[in-house]
Structure 1
Amino acid sequence: MHPADAIPPSPRPYRVVQWATGTLGTSVLRSVLDHPGLELAGVWVHSPAKAGLDAGALVDRPPTGVRATQELADILDLDADCVVYSPGRAGDPFSELDTICALLSSGKNLICLNGLVYPYAHGPYLATELEQACKRGGVSVHGSGFLGGFMADVMPLVLSRLSRRITHVYARQCLDLSRHPSWRMVHRVLGFGKQEDAYMCSLRPARTAMRALFSESLHLVAAGLRLDLDDIDVDVDYRLAGADLDIAAGRIPRDTVAAARWTFSGLAGGRPAITLEVIQKADALRIPDWGRPGYAVRVHGLPSLTLTTDEDWVSDDISAAAAHALNSIPVVCAAEPGIRTYLDLPLVTGRMEVDR
């Protein structure tokens, strides 16, 4: 029996709310409109300029009859099965907690694309608040995604099935952002284009946010391997542009920050047991340090396993993250109420479509 067959089929399309319409959110929105098993119930937007617009206009689709809103109350009043939650800011789950709990309490399952892959990493308060909200609404909350939510945690656990006596797990992502269109992401969020002193000043809040985000993946892997982590260590290094870099998101001037390498180490027994390396480059061709763009997962054990790919192994990582969330909707909606991580859910797969 296919794992999906254990889930009762829905008698109607799942009604979905898209929360936020940035780069990732618009990909989800477009996919919902194109999916025969999903129906758009609502859209929440950050920008006043988008409020009141038909959802179709946000993604170059025909009118849908669903208008975007900035009001949480409008979303709470909707009849919907699931909210796909993709806020632009990541790394501080507590800043969004009241909103997330309100959505859950209103009876809507929630799939987060910017965290919550393992909420227990943040201590008992957050997990308790989420569990109570899920209980009030009779629904579940699940964290999904592409790096956090798949490559950094799900894939290492999948590979671990083929090994025993595991001593270390390593996952790496190296991104070339030369074609990334978002000025906000490249310049404001990542801090590229800043003078070295300004970048150093921004590292303290950035370190806190990045630690909060990726500690979830480390703890998820640890939980899957039945390991308790003692602590998490965060290290960051950076490189300056040797010349002006003209990229899609705007110029990175010479002698400003143009690349960063974040290393997150889950410590156990006085040594790193799980390591996640996240490398971001404004232009990989001009910044050769730290290797080529792509992904790698290594499980050291008996036997040891290594999976490496170049950056082209996925044609569109944004669409992949969106698909991961949407393919998870049936199992999340069918789950018992509460926090449901990858470890709690049946296998999530896509669905093949063949013209006959």
Structure 2
Amino acid sequence: MDTPPLRVVQWGTGAVGRGVLRGLLDRPEFELAGVRVYDPAKQRLDAGTIIGRDPVGVLATRDPEEILGLDADCVVYAPLPGSRYGGDDLATVCRLLASGKNVVSLTGFVYPHARGPEFVEALEDACAAGGTSVHGTGVSPGFTGEKLPLVLSGLARRIDHLYVRDCFDFAGHPSRRFVRGLAGFGMAEEEYLEMLPWARGMMRELYTESMHLLAAGLRVDLDDIDLDHEHLHAPEDFDIASGTIARGTVAADRWTLTGRVGGVPTITIEIAHKADARRIDAWYEPGYALRIQGSPSMALALDEDWLTNGVTAAAGHALNSVAAVCAAPPGIRTLLDLPLVPGRFTRP
């Protein structure tokens, strides 16, 4: 007997959200149950129209109450961080969970235990009320900084230090709201500095979860985490997919998080963003690097060509997690709790 498709809601239709939406419409194990949008121009647009296809009969809504009232197995939660735009992601996710919908999130929730007991209690209570599970697949795209280091660590007899680095080139990223509104690229120095306290908080929230997830996987407890930041300016005017970056405006930043155990640096994550790596040659080339110091020591480096499209990868990571999250027992489910979730082989 065939298994009925999972009814899934897509929450947010930015670059990643549209990628998820395409997968929900293309793959037979899913049925699109609803679409939550934020742009007034998308209100009541057909989901197919939003991604440049023929209508599919599912109309988008800006009203979260309509989504909460739907009969659905799961919500793929992919808005921009609520803290930047006056929202509350924890409250929203808890309402979705309590309404009986599992949640796969691309906006935080990678390791909620890092956010403190009240944060965890709110999620666990909502999961208990709805009989549901929540899982964060992570950002950028949530594989290199979390899953891959833990997989490679399985080769080590002893680990002394774990170093992870991601360097992203935003030249092809299509979202101005993301590249300027969140990353701050194209902002004048004064405007950027006004945004910086929020950006520090966001980066700490997102990547502290990743740090504590890695620590839990390696069975250590971090005493504290330091966060350092620096940024660079555009040497000239140049155009990228999301618009023009003017000379002298912010065009790159680097964030370094260092987690200590017993006062000794044990886990380090570096994240570098560049508006256009061809124009900013400081720091590193786009790509990924992983180093484990121990016995044996090991290193892995992947240039930007190892992944042709990070936005599509983030969408695929979320899509491939939906079935496992729906099948999991109620509660918070991190990648330490879920089985390995492979992709799906398909022919055109």
Normalization by structure 1: what TM-score? 0.93
| Offset of residue 90 of structure 1 | 6.2
- The counterpart of 2:63, out of the listed 71, 79, 82, is 71
- The counterpart of 1:326, out of the listed 306, 319, 326, is 319
Q: What residue is the counterpart of 1:234 in the other structure?
A: 227
Q: How does 1:9-158 map to 2 (within 5 A)?
A: 11-89=3-81, 95-147=88-140, 149-158=142-151
| Offset of residue 280 of structure 1 | 0.7
Tell me how far apart the structure 1 counterparts of residues 145 and 234 of structure 2 sit (CA, whole Å): 28
Tell me how far apart the structure 2 counterparts of residues 307 and 171 of structure 1 sit (CA, whole Å): 10
| Offset of residue 354 of structure 1 | 5.4
| Offset of residue 124 of structure 1 | 0.4
**Change in CA separation of 1:10 and 1:20 when aligned onto 2, cut-off 3 Å:** farther
Instruction: Classify the secondary structure of the residue corresponding to 2:88.
Output: helix
Instruction: Classify the secondary structure of the residue corresponding to 1:273.
Output: strand
Whether the aligned pair in 2 keeps the contact of 1:148 and 1:217 (CA below 8 Å) is no
Give the AA of the match of 2:62.
Q
Normalization by structure 2: what TM-score? 0.95
Q: What residue is the counterpart of 1:218 in the other structure?
A: 211
Q: What residue is the counterpart of 1:294 in the other structure?
A: 287
Residue identity over aligned pairs, in percent, reads 54
Q: What residue is the counterpart of 2:182 in the other structure?
A: 189
User: Structure 1 stretches of 5 or more lacking a match?
Assistant: 1-8
Tell me how far apart the structure 1 counterparts of residues 45 and 192 of structure 2 sit (CA, whole Å): 37
Instruction: Classify the secondary structure of the residue corresponding to 1:49.
Output: helix
| Offset of residue 217 of structure 1 | 0.4
**Change in CA separation of 1:155 and 1:324 when aligned onto 2, cut-off 3 Å:** same
Q: What residue is the counterpart of 1:308 in the other structure?
A: 301
Tell me how far apart the structure 1 counterparts of residues 70 and 167 of structure 2 sit (CA, whole Å): 40
Instruction: Classify the secondary structure of the residue corresponding to 2:321.
Output: helix
Bigger drift between 198-207 and 125-134 goes to: 198-207
The count of residues paired between Structure 1 and Structure 2 equals 347
| Corresponding position: 1:346 with 2:343 | no
Give the AA of the match of 1:30.
R
Give the AA of the match of 1:37.
E
Bigger drift between 247-256 and 90-99 goes to: 90-99
Instruction: Classify the secondary structure of the residue corresponding to 2:308.
Output: coil
Instruction: Classify the secondary structure of the residue corresponding to 1:131.
Output: helix
| Offset of residue 148 of structure 1 | 6.0
RMSD of aligned residue pairs (Cα, Å): 1.8
Tell me how far apart the structure 1 counterparts of residues 295 and 346 of structure 2 sit (CA, whole Å): 39
